[in-house]
Amino acid sequence: MDFSDAAESLQEVHAQIRRCRRCPLSRSRAKAVPGDGAPGADVMFVGEAPGAEEDRQGRAFVGAAGRLLTQLLKLAGLDRDTVFITNVVKCRPPGNRDPQPEEIAACNEYLLSQIALIMPKVICPLGRFAAQTLIEKNLSISREHGKPRRMSGILYVPLYHPAAGLHQAKLIDSLEADFRELRRIVAGELKSATPEPGTTRA
Ligand code: URA
């Protein structure tokens, strides 16, 4: 599949998400939130679930946590338009409660399709739910944040969720340090993925 086919298929997955009725969140949502950004992004961020503002606009991370994420991305030398940002669950849980295991399971195929079509080199799960869904069921985000690990050729870098920094001021320093370090991690990863001119990669 070439890039334009993949971008078209991504649009098709997003259309399916917008009309999805797989779980009860589809009845309470205003708008489903498939995700935003570049279909060919090297770096993908995966949050927990849309909040009130995201539900209203149908766009990911556009509320208070999203404004903080935009600032943190700058520390990593990244721009919202060049990365892809989505969530584990594509519809808002009522009252911003935690997403339930059945809701995460119902949405998982959409997330896996997005990863397969975007083919990012680095994925940053934001917070416990995303890290446990994408990396390891019992992962402790307070222990593992900022520590990269490679799985199936993709470098995963679990990070605290930006909303945690809004609620617990002491986590802001950790978030900022991790996003600064992410700049170095991404640069190293992209460099090693780009063949030197005149060489071929095995
Ligand atoms: N929190 C999330 O996890 N995702 C959003 O899109 C907004 C807030």
> What are 156's strand-pairing partners?
123, 149
State the pLDDT at residue 161.
98
Please indicate whether residue 54, judged by its CB atom, sits closer than 6 Å to ligand 1: yes
Enumerate the domain spans of the chain.
Answer: 3-189
Interval between CA 1 and ligand 1 midpoint (Å)? 31
Q: Output phi, psi for 128, to 5 deg.
A: -60, -45
pLDDT band at 201 (very low <50, low <70, confident <90, very high): low
- Are the beta carbons of 66 and 74 closer than 8 angstroms? no
Q: CB of 125 closer than 6 A to ligand 1?
A: no
Average pLDDT of the segment spanning 94-117? 97
3-189 classified as CATH 3.40.470.10 = yes
What pLDDT, in 10s, does the model give residues 113-169? 999 999 999 999 999 999 999 999 999 999 999 999 999 999 999 999 999 999 999
Which residues, 6 or more positions from 88, have their beta carbon under 8 angstroms from its beta carbon?
46, 47, 48, 49, 99, 104, 107, 108, 111, 129, 130, 133, 134
Return the H-helix or E-strand segment holding 6: helix 3-18
Number of H helices, E strands in the chain: 9, 6
Give distance in angstroms: CA of 47 to centre of ligand 1.
Answer: 5
Q: Is residue 91 over pLDDT 60?
A: yes
Spatial contact of 160 and 45, defined as CB atoms under 8 Å apart: no
Predicted model pTM = 0.94
User: In the predicted model, what is the mean pLDDT of residues 78-106?
Assistant: 97
Give the Cα separation of 58 and 67 in Å (integer): 16
pLDDT at residue 122 in the model: 98
Q: What span, in angstroms and rounded, lies between the C-alpha atoms of 128 and 132?
A: 6
Does pLDDT of 21 surpass 80? yes
Q: What is the pLDDT of residue 154?
A: 98
